[in-house]
Structure formats: structure tokens, C-alpha cells
Structure 1
Amino acid sequence: MASHPVTEVQFIHAQMAAAMAGQPDAYYELGVAYAVGRNGVDIDLVEAHKWFNLAAMSGDERAQLDRSEVAASMTPAEVAAAQREARAFLMQTRH
């Protein structure tokens, strides 16, 4: 039997579930997806920065570099929005 590739929607749902469970690798994968438009996700630099920020706070050095690269293409207001969204995500997922 041939295996079927994971659909774009399945990938994003799986990564979001992992992110909600606090898995830093999922934060990074979501950051990449939003930064480059991978897995059917539209490019959204605010979302990319948010996810890279969460991964960086978890100690992912790749995310620190990628966050800086994304931020270079953003306005200060967009960076501030991404930081607010990252804080809101942490507040939402901490019990």
C-alpha cells in the first residue's frame, strides 16, 4: 500500500495541536510555514514572527536567527503586534 502524504490542512492542524501542547519544534515549524508560505499557509510575517518568538523563548537558536530575518521585513508596529500575539498565546496555553 502506498502511503498518502499528509495534506496541508492535516500538517497545520497537527502543528497547532503540538504548539498548544507546548512543543517548541511545532513553534518553529509554524514560523517557517508562515514565513515562506509552506504547507498551504499564506505568508504572514506577523504570524511567522510570533511562532519564531515562541520557539526562540524555548531556546531554539534557529528561531532566533529566523525571527531577526523576518523582523527586518516588518514595521515596528507589526513586530509589536507579533509580540503581543506571542504573549497572548502563552497566556492562553498556560493553566
Structure 2
Amino acid sequence: MAFTDVETAQVHDAIKSDPNGEDLCKLGLLYSTGQCGVVDYVEAHKWFNLAALMGSDAAKHYRAEVALEMDTVQIANALSAARQWLATRH
């Protein structure tokens, strides 16, 4: 799935305010496909994990796919980053 520059900007703006599961899932897709400039599975997993926590079933699927490309240290880093992001939101 390709995103336009406008959609990409909208996702980044939503993350700064009040993101929902769909927004976070889109951000995961941007990182997992390199549309943010580089493929970053740790960032993708982080955003998919957060989206899944917000009820996104698609994010659960994508998170599992991305995890197949990662080692256990990368997954641990992604989970830690997700926890840190949640801690700064509350």
C-alpha cells in the first residue's frame, strides 16, 4: 500500500495529537515498506504493536509478518520503544 505525501503528513500529525489504531497501523506500514525513507522493522513493529493495543486487527497481522524478519533483540527493542511511547502519552 502506497501513501501520498499528504497521507504521510496526516499520519505524522495524528501521532502528535490523538492517534487511533488506524493511524498507528499506517505509520507501521510506512516504516515496514520504506516509505519513511528507510525500512525499519523495529519502528514498524513498535507502531503495529501500539495499533494492535488500540484494537487494529490489521496491525496484529502486520506485526506478525514483520516479526518474521526480526531477531529477538530487535523485537525486544521494539517492545521497549512501544512501552516508552505509551509512558510519554499519559
Establish whether TM, by shorter chain, passes 0.5. yes
State the match for 1:89 in structure 2: 85
Give 1:26 deviation, angstroms.
Answer: 1.1
Matched, 1:60 2:39: no
Three-state SS of the structure 1 residue aligned to 2:77 is helix
* Equivalent residue letter for 1:36: T
CA distance in 2, matches of 1:81, 1:12: 24
Q: Once superposed, what is the RMSD of the aligned Cα atoms?
A: 1.5
Task: Name which of 5, 9, 13 aligns with 1:17.
Answer: 13
Give 1:37 deviation, angstroms.
Answer: 1.1
TM-score (norm 2): 0.85
State the match for 2:38 in structure 1: 42
Give 1:15 deviation, angstroms.
Answer: 1.3
Where does the alignment leave 5 or more consecutive residues of structure 2 unmatched? none
State the match for 2:68 in structure 1: 72
TM-score (norm 1): 0.81
In percent, how many aligned pairs have the same letter? 34
